[in-house]
Amino acid sequence: LVVKAPNYDLGTIVYSTNGYYRCIAYTNVSNIINETASNPAIVSVSPAGIVSVSPFSATVSGGDNVTLTCSAGGGPNNIFTWAHANIGQISDGGRFIIESTSSSTLTITDVIGADFGAYTCQVSNLAGSSSATSEITTSPEGFSAISPVNNITLDRGDDITLNCATTAGPPSNIMYDWYHNATQSVCCPFGQDANITQLVEQRTVSRVGMSSDLELTSVNASHGGTYECILSNDAGSEALSTSVF
């Protein structure tokens, strides 16, 4: 853009107004033209209101790779910073690959259960900053466990607690189903609420955070058999079992 005038009015500032501006003065002495350029004036436009991360949300299985892309207006010289709700600012390296030019990508390789949660991209320059977030849901498959494991021998009247836990999440999205001998549902699936307890025929099923407990009290012959815990969310599911005798 070239304007032949001593003053240049930028008009209404839009995101594309950002950039470097120079003034060049010309002189003509004896038909010899000389020019002198000023130092650049930098016009920075805040990225506020025009930062986005895609996809907005993603469901991922263990071992997969997922890439988040952060786009922004404003500038120039936008600086991109990625952060995770649980671990704070993310640096390029290991399983996290960050590449930034006019936009920025964050690639998470070999996803594990604990990679769930909100990922925030913050964009900043001399004029200000803005951010956007993407939510990742990880499958419980491969990242869950039941305990105690198999061949649990009890005496009549004993109590025992079976635990089903996962590192996947978010925790509020995990559903837990308990079954006794494959077909008999011990209790309803649990999801959303953080703390739930329900008593069904001397069986107490509870959920706190990222696990669910099945408590058997005053056991008798009817309590024997296989107990199965099925964990599920939008990303996948896992079935785990243990035996009580």
At 28-73, the pLDDT tens digits run 888 888 889 999 999 999 988 789 999 999 999 999 999 999 999 8
* Calpha distance 173→170 (Å, rounded): 6
Domain count, the chain: 2
For 149, other C-beta atoms within 10 Å of its C-beta total: 12
- Asked if the structure places residue 38 within a domain, the reply is no
Q: Residue 30 falls within a domain, yes or no?
A: no
The first and second tokens of residue 115, run together, are 């990679």
| Residue where a domain stops, chosen among 121, 137, 153 | 137
**Of 4-8, 45-49, 87-91, 167-171, which has the strongest mean pLDDT?**
87-91
Domain that residue 208 falls in: 144-244
Examine residue 24 and state whether it is found in any structural domain, yes or no.
no
Residues 160 and 101 in one domain: no
In a domain, 202, yes or no: yes
Regarding whether 127 and 161 lie in a shared domain, the answer is no
Q: Is residue 21 part of a domain?
A: no
Instruction: Give the residues across from 93 on adjacent strands.
Output: 96
Instruction: Give the CATH number, domain containing residue 84.
Output: 2.60.40.10
Q: Are residues 127 and 219 in the same domain?
A: no
In this structure, are 81 and 102 located in the same domain?
Answer: yes
| Cα–Cα dist 69/94, whole Å | 19
Same domain, 123 and 162: no
The verdict on residue 89 lying in a domain is yes
Given a cut of 70, is residue 205 above it in pLDDT? Answer: no
Q: What is the pLDDT at residue 210?
A: 82
What is residue 28's predicted lDDT score, i.e. its pLDDT?
83
Last residue of a domain, one of 111, 137, 163: 137
Predicted local distance difference test score (pLDDT) of residue 221: 87
- Please give the share of the chain, as a percent, with pLDDT higher than 70: 88
pLDDT in tens, 221-232: 888 889 999 899
- Note the pLDDT of residue 56: 96
For residue 94, give the DSSP letter. T
Q: Is residue 209 located within the same domain as residue 131?
A: no
Res 111: pLDDT: 97
